[in-house]
Amino acid sequence: MAGQESFDYVIVGAGSAGCVLAARLSEDPSAQVLLLEAGGEDTADEIHIPAAFASLFKTRWDWNYETVEQKHTGKPAYWPRGKMLGGSSSINAMIYIRGNRADYDGWRDAHGATGWGWDDVLPYFKRAEGNQRFDGPLHGTDGPLHVEDRRFTHELSSAWVDSAVDWGLKRTEDFNGETQEGAGVYQVTCKRGRRWSTADAYLRPALSRPNLTVRTHAQATRVVFEGTRAVGVSYMDKGVEVTARASAEVLLSGGAVNSPQLLMLSGVGPAEHLRELGIDVVTGLSGVGDNLHDHPAAGIIWSTKGTTDLVDAATPAGLVRYQLTRRGPLVSNIGEAGAFFSTRDGLPGPDMQVHVAPTLFYDNGMREPTMPGFTSAATLVEVASRGRLRLKSANPMWKPEIDPAYYAEPIDLDIMKSALRSLIEIGRSGPLARFLDKPFLPSTHELSDDALTDHVRENTQTLYHPVGTCAIGSVVDPDLRVRGVDGLRVVDASVMPVVPRGNTNAPTIMIAEKAADLIRSV
């Protein structure tokens, strides 16, 4: 590779983790950093308007993945993933949740993730966080990731919280406080009513540094090895494959789909599977692509009366209001409020998260609302089922085979059904009830167990939180170095051995903050 470009670090993926790494590593002016992003710049207006995130699905801003047909639902699931600067932090619902103390202590105690317990990771959450309301021992106030109270909350969301409290949940002002359980409104990663992705928070302030190079529309095709040492990355540049050399390390931050895919394309993964596709094996690492899991979600939806719907603001006048004031319904992140609670006794943390929306939101928001509505969705956050990811081809342009194995473990389905019955009960009482007209999905709430099972199977969708395919313990060590090779780390949600209880964007950013310290300590 003589005469080819050389950097100290080559980072693959400018998403929630990659932007953090690029910013932190380039703080050292002597370190030359290259950041590769398969998508383009985050220029679309819809990226920055919080309520517009679902309009980005199945566009050029989306990897547009689909799982295999799920054995226990009878259909595939669509998986949106951000394909632009900021990655999925530019396409997500912006909810700021860290997870539960038990999650990280569990990583440490059950999966050998030394240094990843709650007390270890809290400083990195705080380093990242710029919270506009909370401070003290659990929150950061001057970090790059702006976290604020949403500038608009619909009356339906507030009424749901009141009804959930009447039903028996405690009210909480802070899901990232001393305890996670309770009902309340979510804080969001926005800045004065505008989405605040990792591209905004981390990458843009670093772009003026002469030691940071960012290349968009540059899809990585393989990690280049000399023996078992990673020495560079090949990527597509205007239809031509070129290689960038990394004198220090190659860092994969493509997420739970793209990182294991690139490892396998590069000869790191289940040896028999790679040989079947004609890929030379650099090191056999059976855990690559295994342990895939996600938070499945399914909703209960009502038509509403005596109130408004978020879609009422999707007008030229609503857009002008947003552009001039950064206020009003377009500031909504759709999933405005929710809760954490346990459906069973004796758990170390909640097994259920709720997301509520003052509109009809189902099928990933891809269906046009036909009437004013309200959605209350159960999200399983203690997931027993495990699937896997495998290559379909040695061609890096082919999408991989994705199987999260939703409900492979029956307990997952049982928890979902229990939670949905609780959501029906919450909707029948308290301040929310006066706004709810009649059931929309399902069309009746007088459901037998079999009917509720059918409803869950028919209406399950991803909550956009795939993890685990390059897990600490099986694929990477606690320093996130890929086992069996040198000069290569994975830094993204794929290293999570178990998905945290809650939305995964903040934990992914935390992982990258901690990884930057691990890398710089070498």
Catalytic residue ranges: 465
For the chain, how big is the Rg over CA atoms in Å? 22
Alpha-carbon gap, residue 365 to 299, rounded angstroms: 12
Q: Is beta strand 187-188 parallel, antiparallel or unpaired with respect to 182-185?
A: unpaired
Alpha-carbon gap, residue 383 to 97, rounded angstroms: 17
Phi–psi pair at 159, nearest 5 degrees: -65, -35
Alpha-carbon gap, residue 114 to 306, rounded angstroms: 54
Distances from the Cα of 517 to the Cα of 21, 139, 270, 428, 467, angstroms: 10, 20, 30, 50, 22
Alpha-carbon gap, residue 191 to 24, rounded angstroms: 21
Helices 101-111, 118-128: crossing angle, 10 deg rounding: 130
- Among residues 416, 150, 422, the alpha carbon closest in space to that of 297 is found at 416
Alpha-carbon gap, residue 69 to 31, rounded angstroms: 45
| Residue 293: count of CB within 10 angstroms of its CB | 26
Alpha-carbon gap, residue 192 to 326, rounded angstroms: 7
Phi–psi pair at 502, nearest 5 degrees: 135, 180
Alpha-carbon gap, residue 463 to 295, rounded angstroms: 5
Token couple for 471:
């897990």
Token couple for 41:
């710049």
Q: What is the DSSP string of 21-34?
A: HHHHHTTSTT--EE
State the DSSP H helix or E strand holding residue 291, giving kind and residue range, or none if neither: strand 290-292
- Among residues 309, 446, 295, 472, the alpha carbon closest in space to that of 385 is found at 295
SS3 readout for 63-82: CCEECCCCCCCCCCCEECCE
Token couple for 300:
């209960």
Alpha-carbon gap, residue 199 to 220, rounded angstroms: 19
Token couple for 126:
């705080």
Q: Is beta strand 352-357 parallel, antiparallel or unpaired with respect to 373-380?
A: antiparallel
